[in-house]
Amino acid sequence: MTMPLPPTTTIARLTADDMDRHLDDLCRVLIDSVEDGAAISFMSPLSQEAAAAFWSDSVRPDVARGDRLLLGAVQDGRLIGTVQLVLAMPPNQPHRGEISKMIVHPEGRRLGLGTALMQAALRAAKDAGKTIVTLDTRSGDVSEGLYRRVGFEVAGTIPDYAFDPDGIQRHATTYMYRYV
Ligand SMILES: CC(C)(COP(=O)(O)OP(=O)(O)OC[C@H]1O[C@@H](n2cnc3c(N)ncnc32)[C@H](O)[C@@H]1OP(=O)(O)O)[C@@H](O)C(=O)NCCC(=O)NCCS
């Protein structure tokens, strides 16, 4: 089911220049989500410098090359959510795309933004000629339910995969896939 977005929100593809303009918001979404307990590779506390380095040094060059597509949910000029679709794959997997770092700011959740970002990413994958999209997510998270609802199937679960951001407990990850 597609829920209508809040009327002032748009889902847009971000260029490398757009990333520079939205850098503070990208960092805010990442830092506040890690503080909120999100399992998105980083440990808490995540510094502004480390967050900025992630966006500017790791993600931006891929976006500039077209190897990675970055989508943003923008509300009244402020970026409040984002998702990435990795397009550049090994030579034997040109048909596969990979979803990464789907994050909505804690204050913007449960309004349908995550679902809208994912649906836009799936459309973009299809437009890019991909036929299958894969991802992994902490088992049992809200995200897992969201991914199932938009048609992802569970491939399998790996226990003890990563630490929660507080460094105390480890969690399992669930690998999922969807044909597009
Ligand atoms: C996963 C995540 C991106 C979802 O973002 P979101 O914008 O809240 O997603 P949606 O609003 O589309 O859906 C989330 C829930 O809100 C519900 N919802 C959506 N629109 C709603 C509305 N208008 N009113 C009430 N509930 C609504 C959905 O049914 C869903 O329900 P659930 O909590 O029972 O599963 C967000 O929780 C997040 O950023 N988590 C931390 C980062 C993370 O773990 N990312 C995944 C990495 S793999």
pLDDT by residue (tens digit) across 76-121? 999 999 999 999 999 999 999 999 999 999 999 999 999 999 999 9
pTM metric for this prediction: 0.96
* Cα 164 from chain centre: 17
Q: Please answer whether residues 132 and 96 qualify as being in contact, where contact means their C-beta atoms are separated by less than 8 angstroms.
A: yes
Spacing, Cα 167 to ligand 1 middle (Å): 24
Q: Which residues pair with 144 in a beta bridge?
A: none
Say what angle helices 113-127 and 142-149 make with each other, to 10 degrees. Answer: 50
CB distance 162 to ligand 1 below 6 Å: no
CA 90 to ligand 1 center in whole angstroms? 31
Domain 9-179: CATH superfamily is Gcn5-related N-acetyltransferase (GNAT) (3.40.630.30)
Structure tokens at 56: 């500017």
Residue to mutate (ligand 1; options 44, 115, 157, 174; most atoms within 8 A of CB) = 115
The pLDDT score that the predictor gives to residue 3 is: 61
Q: Is 40 in the pocket of ligand 1 (CB under 6 A)?
A: yes
Query: What backbone torsions phi and psi does residue 177 show, to the nearest 5 degrees?
Result: -145, 160
pLDDT (0 to 100) of residue 87: 98
Atom of ligand 1 nearest to the CA of 4: 23
Phi then psi for residue 83, to 5 deg, are: -150, 150
Residue nearest ligand 1's atom 41 by CA: 38
Q: Cα-atom radius of gyration of the chain, to the nearest Å?
A: 16
**Predicted local distance difference test score (pLDDT) of residue 2:** 57
Q: What is the pLDDT at residue 5?
A: 76
Q: Which regions of the chain are under pLDDT 70?
A: 1-4
Q: Is the CB of 165 under 6 A from ligand 1?
A: no
Measured from the CB, is residue 142 less than 6 Å from ligand 1?
yes
pLDDT of residue 125: 98
CA 125, chain centre distance (Å): 14
For residue 18, the model assigns a pLDDT of 98
**Domain segments of the chain as ranges:** 9-179
CB distance 115 to ligand 1 below 6 Å: yes
